[in-house]
Amino acid sequence: MRMLILGGDGFCGWPTALYLSQQGHEVAIVDNLARRAWDIELGTDSLVPIASLNERIVAWRELTGKNIAAHIGDLQDYAFLSQVVRNFQPDAIVHYAEQRSAPYSMIDRAHAVFTQVNNVVGTLNVLYAMKEFVPDSHLVKLGTMGEYGTPNIDIEEGYITVNHNGRTDRMIYPKMPGSFYHASKVHDSTNIEFACRIWGLRSTDLHQGVVYNVQTDETKRDPRLANRYDYDGVFGTALNRFCAEAAKGHPLTVHGAGGQTRGFIDIRDTVRCIELAALNPAERGELRVYNQFTEQWSVQQLAERVSNVAAKMGIETTIAHVDNPRVEKEQHYYNAKHTKLLDLGLQPHLLTDETIQDLLASALANRDRITLDRIPAQVKWR
Amino acid sequence: MRMLILGGDGFCGWPTALYLSQQGHEVAIVDNLARRAWDIELGTDSLVPIASLNERIVAWRELTGKNIAAHIGDLQDYAFLSQVVRNFQPDAIVHYAEQRSAPYSMIDRAHAVFTQVNNVVGTLNVLYAMKEFVPDSHLVKLGTMGEYGTPNIDIEEGYITVNHNGRTDRMIYPKMPGSFYHASKVHDSTNIEFACRIWGLRSTDLHQGVVYNVQTDETKRDPRLANRYDYDGVFGTALNRFCAEAAKGHPLTVHGAGGQTRGFIDIRDTVRCIELAALNPAERGELRVYNQFTEQWSVQQLAERVSNVAAKMGIETTIAHVDNPRVEKEQHYYNAKHTKLLDLGLQPHLLTDETIQDLLASALANRDRITLDRIPAQVKWR
């Protein structure tokens, strides 16, 4: 298949591009290199050194003989985007090209506005480009489990049948996002549903959980192919961050009580989920929603898992319950369905001690690159 | 009370400003005059001649001795908006300042993007200005009944209790908007709910039905105070448009079967609803949703009402079922609750033959101002 990876230089996009290329698909990347610019803005850097996009692509070609085309530009630039789409004629458009950090969106007004405009306009432009040039293509869009929030009922995959006053309807599952970033994904979902309904586009909205682990079989093949490892308070996420903290001798920072429970997924499953969705496209006019995660964990449980594995490796850790910078429930019901990708054949990598050990080893090998004052989550929601 | 009317030069904003001023409130208007620019863009004009905002305000002062301050600027300009909010210290911020035409948002990609950025960023800026300068103020935000779409169950006022797999939660009522404009209001509602939740702001989101009638007691007092009357295919709405069509001898254009049922409200009730919401503010941290309409009508029923009243006035009409430019159900269940504003004391102006007669008379008096080729709804959804 012809796969266009929007945001193909990012944490999920790059390993996805490699995996799909390895599987024999024809892959092209669109990226505006924004993620690298945000590192400069925030004074952070990937814990594992990463090559430039150009070096990455050259290395992949040297190793495999496979070509990945790269188009540098912004989805908000419709002239650019639509030309790439028209020329490449993708079977699937995998859309990661969004500002994806909740804390980044909460830095201040300007960052909230930037996040929502960047994400919403980018996605609107993708929808119009599909309508105009590839109406039969399939949009594989990355959403987030954070669109749902933490309701007191089971979370279904995108839709819920509601019985009310003696009547019934299948409705879009109600959303309650936890940041202006998460809200931007809700906005996207609303726009995509509408576009599928009126234009007959096909889309799969992958409500992804928190992604952990860093490298895949492909990114491990050469240091120039290495994936980025975020450990900082803005872009770093649970598990991976705990491993960096443990490696640096920093307390594992749990926000508040730590009962916050979320869906998690290994990045090796992320890349496989994308291919599964692409190989089994939605119908024309259909917006499918898959909850893309494999296990539920509380933040406290993850900190303890990391702490235990670290101990076996001779690393002493402490768990610090710091003031929660976010506004969120710290104890709550959480039961989210996630069977649709399993039905398509996903064989999950569940969280093993070996995975944590790999992450710790990788963080230890690069511990001099960790800037201590970048670790705390300093962006406050209130 | 100190009332800041965002979009105070528009179809609902101007009569609201006058009504609140008449009731003794201190009123200030913010407007970027965009609505007048869209008339120029589209080659349309109000059926009833309207004065400039400055002339309007001078006339009101001459007639009543009451001052209304006007600040010309764009909500997307935070430096401008925040300064007005800080200086005026409003008790309530009434927010009409959005692009409010579904067809306008569907003209093309650029208009869809403009509508969503204009509306979403404007509202984000209002929320940040409140947080920063008037955290105890009350946001009275105009949403739309079109956020809900036409579900097969009763439409509640913003929230619904869902029982699912033996558990229960009070959730945000699921949304299914019918245009990129309606979607922008869904985005706003999502952002406002989040801002109230994390910052403790107070807001009332008025999901307004289709507004009919044009003049209020205040706007009738002087021709310079007249409210705009939109009859064109982009900004004109059901009833008012039918009256203009009847006056011009154009068939009453019903889209498709005409079974589309919506909530409707007389503009004299709109202005009263705003005051009722403002006098009874939401609690800190609360987002209330009121469905702001008084009666349900199908489009076909309204066309027949106008046709009958016109006949009594000696005007012959025909009803033409034209191809529906929108993608929407033309026969559907529709039962939307609207008791909360009645509970606050709203005494509705239900649709009378006299109101239709007034509209027809007003359209007849200005029939030479109607441009025939502006009447058809030419913007197609597909």
How many angstroms separate the CA atoms of B373 and B244, rounded? 13
Asked if B198 lies within 8 A of A153 by C-beta distance, the reply is no
How many angstroms separate the CA atoms of A25 and A18, rounded? 10
Q: Cα distance from A359 to chain B (closest Cα, Å)? A: 34
Looking at beta carbons, which residues of chain B come within 8 Å of A113?
121, 124-125
Asked if A167 lies within 8 A of B152 by C-beta distance, the reply is yes
Look at chain A and count its residues: 382
Asked if B193 lies within 8 A of A176 by C-beta distance, the reply is yes
3-state secondary structure of A159: strand
The residue of chain A with its CA nearest to that of B326 is: A198
Asked if B194 lies within 8 A of A174 by C-beta distance, the reply is no
For residue B206, what pLDDT is reported? Answer: 98
Closest CB to B116 among A113, A124, A153:
A124
Looking at beta carbons, which residues of chain B come within 8 Å of A382?
198-199
Q: Count of A–B CB contacts within 8 Å?
A: 136
Q: What is the mean pLDDT of residues B242-258?
A: 96
Interface test mutation site (partner A, options B111, B127, B169, max chain A beta carbons within 10 A): B169
Asked if B128 lies within 8 A of A120 by C-beta distance, the reply is no
For residue B270, what pLDDT is reported? Answer: 98
Which residues, listed in sequence order, are joined to residue A27 by a DSSP beta bridge? A3, A68
Asked if B186 lies within 8 A of A183 by C-beta distance, the reply is no
- Give the residue ranges of chain A where pLDDT is below 70: none
Asked if B198 lies within 8 A of A381 by C-beta distance, the reply is yes
Closest CB to A109 among B128, B172, B183:
B128
Q: Is B81 left (phi over 0), alpha (psi -120 to 50) or beta?
A: alpha
Looking at beta carbons, which residues of chain B come within 8 Å of A109?
78, 124-125, 128
Which residues, listed in sequence order, are joined to residue A253 by a DSSP beta bridge? A320
How many angstroms separate the CA atoms of A335 and A312, rounded? 32
For residue A63, what pLDDT is reported? Answer: 98
Q: Is B117 left (phi over 0), alpha (psi -120 to 50) or beta?
A: alpha
Asked if B163 lies within 8 A of A165 by C-beta distance, the reply is no
Looking at beta carbons, which residues of chain A come within 8 Å of B201?
none
Question: Each residue of B309-342: b (16+ CB within 10 Å) or e?
Answer: bbeeeebebebebeebbbbbbbeeebebebebbe
Strand order in the sheet with B92-95: B68-72, B26-31, B2-6, B92-95, B138-144, B202-208, B287-292
ipTM higher than the 0.85 cut: yes
How many angstroms separate the CA atoms of B106 and B128, rounded? 29
Using one digit for the tens of pLDDT, what is the confidence trace for B116-173?
999 999 999 999 999 999 999 999 999 999 999 999 999 999 999 999 999 999 999 9
Closest CB to A117 among B78, B117, B154:
B117
How many angstroms separate the CA atoms of B381 and B106, rounded? 6
Query: Helical H runs in chain B?
Result: 13-22, 34-42, 53-64, 78-88, 102-105, 109-133, 180-199, 238-248, 267-279, 299-312, 340-343, 353-365
Token representation of residue A195: 């576009």
* Contact call for residues A179 and A325 (beta carbons, < 8 A): no
* Contact call for residues A319 and A254 (beta carbons, < 8 A): yes
Closest CB to A382 among B151, B167, B199:
B199
How many angstroms separate the CA atoms of A279 and A265, rounded? 20
Looking at beta carbons, which residues of chain B come within 8 Å of A116?
120-121, 124, 187, 191
H or E element that contains B33: none
For residue A147, what pLDDT is reported? Answer: 98
Interface test mutation site (partner B, options A169, A185, A327, max chain B beta carbons within 10 A): A169
- Closest by CA to B216, choosing from B5, B3, B22, is B22
* Confidence class for position B16, pLDDT limits 50, 70, 90: very high
State CA B315 to chain mean position distance: 29
How many angstroms separate the CA atoms of A179 and B195, rounded? 9
The residue of chain B with its CA nearest to that of A328 is: B198
Closest CB to A198 among B151, B333, B382:
B382
The residue of chain A with its CA nearest to that of B115 is: A121
> How would you classify the pairing of strands B167-172 and B159-164?
antiparallel
How many angstroms separate the CA atoms of B267 and B210, rounded? 9
Asked if B175 lies within 8 A of A180 by C-beta distance, the reply is no
Q: What is the mean pLDDT of residues B266-286?
A: 98
State CA A262 to chain mean position distance: 14
Looking at beta carbons, which residues of chain B come within 8 Å of A121?
113, 116-117
For residue B327, what pLDDT is reported? Answer: 96
Asked if B117 lies within 8 A of A112 by C-beta distance, the reply is no
How many angstroms separate the CA atoms of A341 and A74, rounded? 30
Looking at beta carbons, which residues of chain B come within 8 Å of A327?
197-198
How many angstroms separate the CA atoms of B275 and B287, rounded? 17
Half-sphere exposure of B262 (CA within 13 A, CB side): 26
* Contact call for residues B15 and B96 (beta carbons, < 8 A): no
Q: Cα distance from A306 to chain B (closest Cα, Å)? A: 31
The residue of chain B with its CA nearest to that of A178 is: B194
* Contact call for residues B135 and B199 (beta carbons, < 8 A): yes
* Confidence class for position B222, pLDDT limits 50, 70, 90: very high
Asked if A198 lies within 8 A of B333 by C-beta distance, the reply is no
How many angstroms separate the CA atoms of B229 and B359, rounded? 9
* Contact call for residues A293 and A39 (beta carbons, < 8 A): no
* Confidence class for position B236, pLDDT limits 50, 70, 90: very high
Using one digit for the tens of pLDDT, what is the confidence trace for B51-71?
999 999 999 999 999 999 999
For residue B294, what pLDDT is reported? Answer: 98
Interface test mutation site (partner B, options A78, A80, A130, A153, max chain B beta carbons within 10 A): A153
Looking at beta carbons, which residues of chain B come within 8 Å of A80?
none
Asked if B176 lies within 8 A of A193 by C-beta distance, the reply is yes
Closest CB to B191 among A168, A183, A190:
A183
For residue B182, what pLDDT is reported? Answer: 98
How many angstroms separate the CA atoms of B80 and B87, rounded? 11
Q: What is the mean pLDDT of residues B95-117?
A: 98
How many angstroms separate the CA atoms of A83 and B379, rounded? 25
* Confidence class for position B78, pLDDT limits 50, 70, 90: very high
Question: Each residue of A210-231: b (16+ CB within 10 Å) or e?
Answer: bbbbbbbebbebeebbbbbbbb
The residue of chain A with its CA nearest to that of B164 is: A153
Return the percentage of chain B with pLDDT > 90, whole number. Answer: 100
* Contact call for residues A30 and A4 (beta carbons, < 8 A): yes
3-state secondary structure of B225: helix
Q: What is the mean pLDDT of residues B20-36?
A: 98
Q: Domains of chain B, with CATH numbers?
A: 2-371 (3.40.50.720)
How many angstroms separate the CA atoms of B155 and A164, rounded? 10
* Contact call for residues B233 and B103 (beta carbons, < 8 A): yes
Token representation of residue A367: 């511990």
* Contact call for residues A206 and A143 (beta carbons, < 8 A): yes
Using one digit for the tens of pLDDT, what is the confidence trace for B172-203?
999 999 999 999 999 999 999 999 999 999 99
H or E element that contains B258: none
Sequence-distant (6+) residues with CB within 8 A of B95 are B6, B7, B123, B126, B139, B140, B141, B142
Q: Say how many C-beta atoms besides its own lie within 10 A of residue A79's C-beta.
A: 8
Give the dihedral sign, CA A326/A331/A332/A333.
positive
For residue B28, what pLDDT is reported? Answer: 99
* Contact call for residues A185 and A208 (beta carbons, < 8 A): no
Looking at beta carbons, which residues of chain A come within 8 Å of B175?
172, 190
Asked if B194 lies within 8 A of A177 by C-beta distance, the reply is yes
Asked if A180 lies within 8 A of B154 by C-beta distance, the reply is no
Interface test mutation site (partner B, options A78, A121, A188, max chain B beta carbons within 10 A): A121
DSSP per position, A24-46: T-EEEEEE--HHHHHHHHHT---
Q: Hey, which residues of A are catalytic here?
A: 144, 181, 185
